[in-house]
Amino acid sequence: MKKTSSTIVFFGSGPVASASLEFLAKNFTIEAVITKAKPPHHKSPAPVEILVKKLELPTFFANTKLELDEVLGQKKFSSPLGIIVDYGVIVSTKSINSFAKGIVNSHFSLLPEWRGADPISFSILSGQKETGVSLMAIVPELDEGQLLSQQTIPIKKSATNPELTEQLIDLSNRMLLHDLPLYLTGKIVPYDQTSTGISYSRKINKSDGILDWSKAAIQLDREVRAYIDWPKSRTTILKKEVIITKTSVSKINLTDAKPGELDINPMTGNIVVQTGSGCLCILGIKPVGKKEMTSAEFIRGYSSPA
Amino acid sequence: MKKEDIITLPHASLRQRSKKIGLITKETLVLIDDMKTAMLDWENSRDHEITVGLAASQVNHLLRLFIVRDQKDPEKFIVFINPEITKYEGEQKTDYEGCLSIKEVYGLVPRYETVRVKATDINGKLFSLKAKGDMARILQHETDHNNGVVFVDHIKESKDAFFKLEKNGKLTKLDYEKDILNNSILW
């Protein structure tokens, strides 16, 4: 007897999960999708929920470890493998063992670097030059499972969180397509993560988005790029609440200026802010309730009486 | 043996009953080894399929013998000589299965959830085991081969049970009237 090597059960809930599932469904037979139920205060259904309706995939909901144990205990899926991407629920040993080949997670860092909830933001915040994707056979301990494969991509100097996320999704999809069949047929033998270079990421909070001008300009520029989708980099300029959307770093300090003090670049008309080290040139700015604009436009609009 | 040694429908041997093995000889052991090689060779040529079991009749030896992959360790094979299903348990469950001897067609085949099987191992020792789920399905499929039955025979009348494996590894439904009913290869 032969089988298609590709029936899998997919676990995921967020936007990255949705992008991965859309690709996987084109290339593998999905036996079922397990996702989180929409919280009552959300108006629209989660991206995965919309996608499974479109693709007509059998779907089950589990919001906690216990609910997941229950779903897997009742359904007894025949797939040898689960794939988990952007799910946000801890999985028990019992659930992992309900699949002959366990559950594989695509984690968006070069493990053991940036284990935890938000590896992409932290790889931008740290200013590192490269990151990548790790396929891992999960264990109940946080991101400590054995690796199936790892691939690296460079982080561009100007990379924003959504740009880097898109590149990583693309890489992850290519790796899943190539490596899952090899893993299922025993041609990939998982190996331990290195015991050095371990670091942890955490969930980003809303308060992380408040710009602290005593930090170095280079760090603030990374924050703007890392937080561009959420929580967004916020500050008050000329007594107006604004979101900073694009910046560049100047190593030159303003004369006699304290962190947070402004000047205008005479060449471009854009705002330059003194930071703890160097200056941050504000290129894109979005005043609350207004459209995004250059900081030169912001200055003109603010200073004009209209 | 190579993948080319695996016979496919409409080869007549696939619908013949195999004979019991009286004595496990050196030739039997060579055949078992050859079957493993043929299975792995076949699998290496496929991007989206894995082999889980092979019966001797599929390499044109009409002997009651099959090998099955260990589900926990795909490098290992379990050998069943003169196997017999002694008990069927549970309900029938429908799932996809394919056959190395049937090109491209997959089917949704009802099988018992649990079976008990009695067989002889390569040392001539009798053993029995209880298998559930996937393993139970595989054992029923391979036992069928010993009796000259292939999986499509179970679903001959089922209009919605036939699928084709696409190049990208996905299964798409076949048109029963057009592709299956009067298919001279299958029947």
ipTM of the complex: 0.84
Euclidean distance between CA atoms A61 and A39, whole angstroms: 12
Q: A interface mutation test: which of B3, B6, B48 has the most A CBs within 10 A?
A: B48
> Is B40 inside a domain boundary?
yes
Q: What gap in Å lies between CA A238 and CA A13, rounded to an integer?
A: 40
Stretch A292-296: mean pLDDT, rounded? 94
Alpha-carbon distance of A13 to A50, in angstroms, equals: 11
Query: Averaged over A253-269, what is the pLDDT?
Result: 90
Residue A6 has a pLDDT of 61
Is pLDDT of A5 > 70? no
Q: How confident is the model at residue B115 (pLDDT cuts 50, 70, 90)?
A: very high
DSSP, collapsed to helix, strand or coil, labels residue A47 as helix
Query: Which residues are CB-neighbours of A269 under 8 A, at least 6 positions away?
Result: A294, A295, A296, A299, A300
pLDDT at A111: 97
The residue-averaged pLDDT of B27-46 equals 94
Q: How do beta strands A146-154 and A262-264 pair? A: unpaired
Which residues of chain A does B137 touch, with a Cβ-Cβ cutoff of 8 Å?
1
Q: Which residues of A touch B49 (CB under 8 A)?
A: 2-5
Q: Which residue has the tokens 């085949």?
A: B109
Nearest by CB to residue B49, choosing from A3, A26, A28, is: A3
Beta strands A293-294 and A240-250, pairing class:
unpaired
Residue B55 lies inside a defined structural domain of this protein: yes
- B-chain residues within 8 Å CB-CB of A80? 71, 134
Is 50 exceeded by the pLDDT of residue B138? yes
- What percentage of chain B reaches a pLDDT higher than 70? 98
Helix-helix angle A15-27:A161-184, to 10 degrees: 40
B174 min Cα distance to partner chain A (Å)? 16
* Least CB–CB distance from B99: residue in A2, A7, A28: A2
The number of domains in chain B is: 1
pLDDT > 70 in chain A, percent? 98
pLDDT-derived band of residue A42, with 50, 70 and 90 as boundaries?
Answer: confident
Residue type at B30 in one-letter notation = V
DSSP B74: T
The string of pLDDT tens digits covering residues A168-210 is 999 999 999 889 988 987 779 999 999 999 999 999 999 999 9
* A27: chain B residues, CB-CB within 8 Å: 168-170
pLDDT (average), residues A280-284: 96
CB contact under 8 A, A2 and B49: yes
B177 in catalytic set:
no
pLDDT in the model for residue B46: 86
In this predicted structure, what is the pLDDT of residue A26?
A: 83
pLDDT band at A305 (very low <50, low <70, confident <90, very high): low
Coil/strand/helix, residue A247: strand
Helix (H), strand (E) counts: chain B: 3, 8
Q: Is residue B122 part of a domain?
A: yes
Cα–Cα distance, B130 to B136 (Å, whole number):
8
Amino acid present at B86: T
At the topology level, CATH places domain A8-107+129-191 in: Rossmann fold (3.40.50)
The CATH 3.10.25.10 portion of chain A extends over 206-303
| Catalytic site residue from B97, B142, B166, B177 | B142
- A26: chain B residues, CB-CB within 8 Å: 168, 170
Which residues in chain A touch residue B136, judged by CB atoms under 8 angstroms apart? none
Tell me where in chain A the CATH 3.40.50.170 domain(s) lie.
8-107+129-191
Beta-carbon contacts of A302 under 8 Å, excluding residues fewer than 6 positions away, are A238, A240
pLDDT band at B17 (very low <50, low <70, confident <90, very high): very high
In whole angstroms, what is the distance from residue B15 CA to residue B7 CA?
12
Task: Specify the CATH number for the domain of residue B89.
Answer: 3.90.45.10
What count of other Cβ atoms lies within 10 Å of the Cβ of residue A246? Answer: 19
Contacts 24+ apart (CB under 8 A), A263-267: A264/A299
Q: What is the pLDDT of residues A90-138, one digit of tens each?
A: 899 999 999 989 999 999 999 999 999 999 999 999 999 999 999 999 9
Q: Is residue A91 a contact partner of residue A140, using CB atoms and an 8 Å limit?
A: yes
Percent above pLDDT 90 for chain A: 74
Residue with the bigger pLDDT between A71 and A4: it is A71
For B72, which of A1, A7, A100 is closest by C-beta distance?
A100
Residue A303: the pLDDT is 62
What is the domain extent for residue B74?
3-181
Half-sphere exposure of B68 (CA within 13 A, CB side): 23
Check: CB of residue B3 under 8 Å from CB of residue B48.
Answer: no
Average per-residue pLDDT in chain A? 92
Q: Do B75 and A186 touch (CB under 8 A)?
A: yes
pLDDT at residue A149 is higher than 80: yes
Residue A227 has pLDDT above 50, yes or no: yes
Residue whose structure tokens are 């959307």: A245
CB pairs under 8 A between A and B: 74
Task: Please give the residue of chain B at the shortest CA–CA distance from A24.
Answer: B170
CA distance B46 to chain A (A): 10
CA distance A266 to chain B (A): 58
Instruction: Specify if B81 maps to a domain.
Output: yes
In a domain, B187, yes or no: no
Cβ contact B47–A80 (<8 Å): no
User: What are the tens digits of pLDDT across the range B37-90?
Assistant: 999 999 888 877 889 999 999 999 999 999 999 876 767 899 999 999 999 999
> Between 3.40.50.620, 3.40.50.300, 3.10.25.10, 3.20.110.10, what CATH number should domain A206-303 receive?
3.10.25.10
Question: Inter-chain contact B134–A78, Cβ cutoff 8 Å?
Answer: yes
